[in-house]
Amino acid sequence: MPSIALLYDHPRWEEKAILQALKDIGADAKLLHVETTPLRIGEPCCPIDLALERSVSFSNAVATAFAVESWGVRVLNPGTVIYLAGDKVATLSLLASHRVPVPETTVLSGSNRINGSLPPGPPWVVKPVIGSWGRMVARARDLEELEQLLSYKEAARGLYSRIHLVQEYIEKPGRDIRVFTLGDRVVAAIYRVSSHWITNTSRGARAEPAPVTGEIEDLALRAAEALGGGFLGVDLLEDPERGLLVNEVNAVPEFKNTVRVTGVRVHMEVARYAVEEARR
């Protein structure tokens, strides 16, 4: 049986479930706590056939996936995929270049900002280039609010504080769709239902099972392929006129609520896939 390392920082339900699933199928599972284990570039810490990157922190996930890849070990997901999925400008640009439909989005840099062409609106959605759980995602009802939001954003210091991602607001039906892809298939999908327009479950949205229609499957797999594949959470928005659009892709997705409402044992699917990939 292959030896599989689980890279983690703050273990959640998901990491515990994957570890148990790896043990249940007889894999040699190793835990690697990235915040207490120095990783030497090019020098493996131990014999490993494959690693699963499950760090919650984006910087931990990117850095440790790359470091482990330097040992000649495959990491699920690879550092490049985690990086690209974590950066919304990179993700949207890659998706668009692969002809995957996304909300109309403008990237504004520093002072030239509002003079650039804005997407349809108001309202507009402003979100950080790197971020998750719906944090700092905001909606501007007019140009004045938009200008104000951007100036607040610029007051914060950070790598991307002067790069603004301004998006059209999609009039979705009180929910979005989270689709889990694993290699070339979809394992589960849920609706995230909320009375608030921000539908992250961490912000109180309710998970409900969603049917995996041919259209959902096709679009999620195209998005996953554009990002480089692996185990991904692809988020779709339903536009009343254009149909499904891809909002973002998550490369270390949480799936506890998905297991609860769909009955699909996502952790077991991930463990089996990791073992198959480690043997290839």
Ligand X SMILES: Nc1ncnc2c1ncn2[C@@H]1O[C@H](COP(=O)(O)OP(=O)(O)O)[C@@H](O)[C@H]1O
Query: Per-residue contact track with ligand X, 40 to 79, x per CB under 6 A?
Result: ----------------------------------------
Distances in Å between the Cα of 270 and the Cα atoms of 54, 128, 170, 208, 243 are: 12, 29, 32, 21, 30
Distances in Å between the Cα of 58 and the Cα atoms of 85, 206, 253 are: 10, 25, 12
Query: Per-residue contact track with ligand X, 196 to 215, x per CB under 6 A?
Result: -xxxx---------------
Taking the least distance from each CB to ligand X, the nearer of 22 and 166 is 166
Taking the least distance from each CB to ligand X, the nearer of 54 and 127 is 127
Taking the least distance from each CB to ligand X, the nearer of 160 and 169 is 169
Stretch that binds ligand X, among 50-58, 62-70, 110-118, 162-170 (CB under 6 A): 162-170
Taking the least distance from each CB to ligand X, the nearer of 55 and 167 is 167
Q: Quick one: tokens of 214?
A: 């041919």
Taking the least distance from each CB to ligand X, the nearer of 11 and 131 is 131
Q: Give the residue, chosen from 100, 118, 125, 252, that forms a contact with ligand X under the rule CB under 6 A.
A: 125
Q: Is 255 exposed, middle or buried (0-12, 13-18, 19+ CB in 10 A)?
A: buried
Category of 64 on φ-ψ map: left (φ > 0), alpha (ψ -120 to 50) or beta: alpha
Stretch that binds ligand X, among 34-42, 43-51, 92-100, 134-142 (CB under 6 A): 134-142
Q: Quick one: tokens of 147?
A: 């200008």
User: Amino acid identity of 43?
Assistant: E
Cα 182 to the chain's mean position, in Å? 13
Q: Give the residue, chosen from 247, 251, 269, 273, that forms a contact with ligand X under the rule CB under 6 A.
A: 247
Taking the least distance from each CB to ligand X, the nearer of 95 and 137 is 137
Report the distance separating Cα 2 and Cα 28, nearest Å: 6
Q: Is residue 85 near ligand X by the rule CB under 6 A? A: no
Q: How far is the CB of 64 from ligand X (least distance, A)?
A: 21
Report the distance separating Cα 150 and Cα 209, nearest Å: 36
Strand arrangement of the beta sheet that strand 138-140 belongs to: 105-109, 163-168, 124-127, 138-140
Stretch that binds ligand X, among 43-51, 55-63, 194-202, 267-275 (CB under 6 A): 194-202
Report the distance separating Cα 11 and Cα 24, nearest Å: 19
Q: Is residue 131 near ligand X by the rule CB under 6 A? A: yes
Residues engaged in binding ligand X (CB under 6 A): 103, 125, 127, 131-135, 137, 167, 169-170, 172, 176, 197-200, 235, 237, 247-248
